[in-house]
Amino acid sequence: MTADPPNRDAEAADDAEEALNWDTSSRDASYVEGPTPVVEKTVREKRAKAERGGRASTGSATETAAPVEASPVSSILLVTYGIVAGVFLLYAIGWFTTVRRDTYVDPNALGAIMWTLGQALAVAAAPVWFGAVFWLTRASKPITRLLWLLLGLVLLVPVPFVLGV
């Protein structure tokens, strides 16, 4: 009896299939799984757990707990944040343009310093609002963050720039 010749088509199909397979972790000896992310529980989460009847420690304000999956942000939400960030950037540019056009002469040095400080704060207000909302609403729902951002969009409109004053 003669041995059957090797099936080259089957080997080529296996190679092609392996090239399309991204899951080589089970066969690769050098592959090491990374650490699972650990999210710190905030005081608000501890209080909610205590109200439900669980035990909450009275130690520090934040405590590293068992690994908790961080909820991913949807693509639509990320695009919305990007658009809002762009509008806040346009607001800062509008305030900067208004400040550059505006002249104020006060013989009193304190008045001139306060005027300059007010102009600098007007330019910085939009980026500071955007950053503060993201920092202060870390543990909040996305709708809460969006509402605060929309409130900032209404309050920080560069009115002198829009009206052409």
| 24-43 pLDDT, tens digit each | 556 666 666 767 665 556 66
d(CA 139, CA 70): 11
In a domain, 5, yes or no: no
pLDDT of residue 109: 87
pLDDT of residue 92: 94
Q: Spell out, as residue ranges, where the chain has pLDDT lower than 70.
A: 1-32, 34, 36-44, 54-71
Burial per residue of 21-55, b for 16 or more beta-carbon CB atoms within 10 angstroms, e otherwise? eeeeeeeeeeeeeeeeeeeebeeebbeeeeeeeee
pLDDT of residue 111: 86
**Are 98 and 68 a contacting pair, CB within 8 Å?**
no
In a domain, 137, yes or no: yes
In a domain, 43, yes or no: no
pLDDT of residue 117: 92
In a domain, 148, yes or no: yes
In a domain, 91, yes or no: yes
pLDDT of residue 72: 74
In a domain, 18, yes or no: no
Please state the domain count of the chain.
1
For the chain, helix, strand, coil in percent to 5 are: 60, 0, 40
pLDDT of residue 159: 86
| Close Cβ partners of 159 (under 8 Å, ≥ 6 residues apart) | 165
pLDDT of residue 54: 57
In a domain, 58, yes or no: no
In a domain, 1, yes or no: no
Q: State the residue range of the domain holding 155.
A: 75-163
d(CA 50, CA 19): 52
